[in-house]
Amino acid sequence: MGALDDQVAIITGAGRGIGAAIARRFSAQGASVVLAARTEKEIEKLADHLAPTGKGAIAIPVDVTQPAQIDACIRGCLDTFGKLDILVNAAGSQYVSSVALSDPKEWIYDIEVNLLGLYRMCRASLPALSDSKKGRIVNIASRMGKTPAPLNSAYCAAKAGVIAFTAALGAEVARDGIHVNSICPGFVETKLLNDTMANTARITGRTVEEIKDILEARSLLRRAVSVDEVAALAYFLVTEATGMTGQAINITAGAEIH
């Protein structure tokens, strides 16, 4: 028996990184999982891996900038599993550029994915989560939403918005039994991090190794946070954290939040 037996979860960004780790953790604890991401082959592969060991896993290709695809994802979840108890918003992008040299389309796209896509997923999911009577929403924000960094203005703005949105939504839906919290990781070993470091290296003239050393030096543990550590926190928020809502929880390997 797992703590998430009879629970149904939609996880965006589930093709890789944090989203995939959360999907694995939830499935291992008995949840039925809907894997939602643009990376169709990756979520199908993960669904095939999880299906024999969990309570069911389906892959639904979703671009969170497309409302029709979000609606189709919710319908697919309800048609397959009959309900929705947990929503995890882990889809993300990170545009690296100075403001002066930024491409407005790329800058706005970061807001579309990280903030507006998250809003759309929450809005579309609320009726089913309310029916659950014990709905849980976990939004993946970032340390950068609290401690902004240069060359990441769009990402920082979006993640700060996620933190504020989480608090506002948590206040709105508490009486419906829905708890809403966000996780604020420091740097996490993912493909997104590797791409971000490569882009930062290109702009600054530093090497990727130098940038990684700088990031590690900022944390007390002198390392990145693992995707499994973030997944463990997400699991806590949907199981044991019954007295928490509207919060933004840091997991930074000890890196200071200003």
How does pLDDT run across 176-229, given as a tens digit for each residue? 999 999 999 999 989 888 999 999 999 999 999 999 999 999 999 999 999 999
Question: Which two structure tokens, joined as six digits, stand for 97?
Answer: 């550029």
The distance in angstroms from the start CA to the end CA of the chain is: 41
How does pLDDT run across 5-25, given as a tens digit for each residue? 999 999 999 999 999 999 999
| CATH label of the domain that carries residue 148 | 3.40.50.720
242 in any annotated domain: yes
Q: Which residue has the tokens 């082959």?
A: 41
Which range of residues forms the domain containing residue 135? 8-186+226-248
What confidence category does residue 51 fall into, taking pLDDT thresholds of 50, 70 and 90?
Answer: confident
1 in any annotated domain: no
Contact present, 208 and 201 (Cβ < 8 Å): yes
Over residues 57-86, the mean pLDDT reads: 98
What confidence category does residue 47 fall into, taking pLDDT thresholds of 50, 70 and 90?
Answer: very high
Give the strand order in the sheet containing 57-61.
57-61, 32-37, 8-12, 86-89, 136-140, 179-185, 248-251
Q: In this predicted model, which residue has the larger pLDDT, 90 or 256?
A: 90
Residue 1 has pLDDT above 70, yes or no: no
- For the chain, what percent of residues have pLDDT higher than 90? 93
Residue 55 has pLDDT above 90, yes or no: no
What confidence category does residue 257 fall into, taking pLDDT thresholds of 50, 70 and 90?
Answer: confident
Contact present, 64 and 120 (Cβ < 8 Å): yes
Q: How high is the mean pLDDT of the chain?
A: 96
31 in any annotated domain: yes
60 in any annotated domain: yes
**Region for 133 from its dihedrals, namely left if φ exceeds 0, alpha if ψ lies in -120 to 50, beta otherwise:** left
41 in any annotated domain: yes
Contact present, 46 and 15 (Cβ < 8 Å): yes
Where in the sequence numbering do the catalytic residues fall?
155
Contact present, 215 and 180 (Cβ < 8 Å): no
Q: What is the DSSP string of 19-44?
A: HHHHHHHHHHTT-EEEEEES-HHHHH
How does pLDDT run across 169-180, given as a tens digit for each residue? 999 999 999 999
67 in any annotated domain: yes
The per-residue pLDDT for 162 is 98
> How many separate domains does the chain show?
1
219 in any annotated domain: no
204 in any annotated domain: no
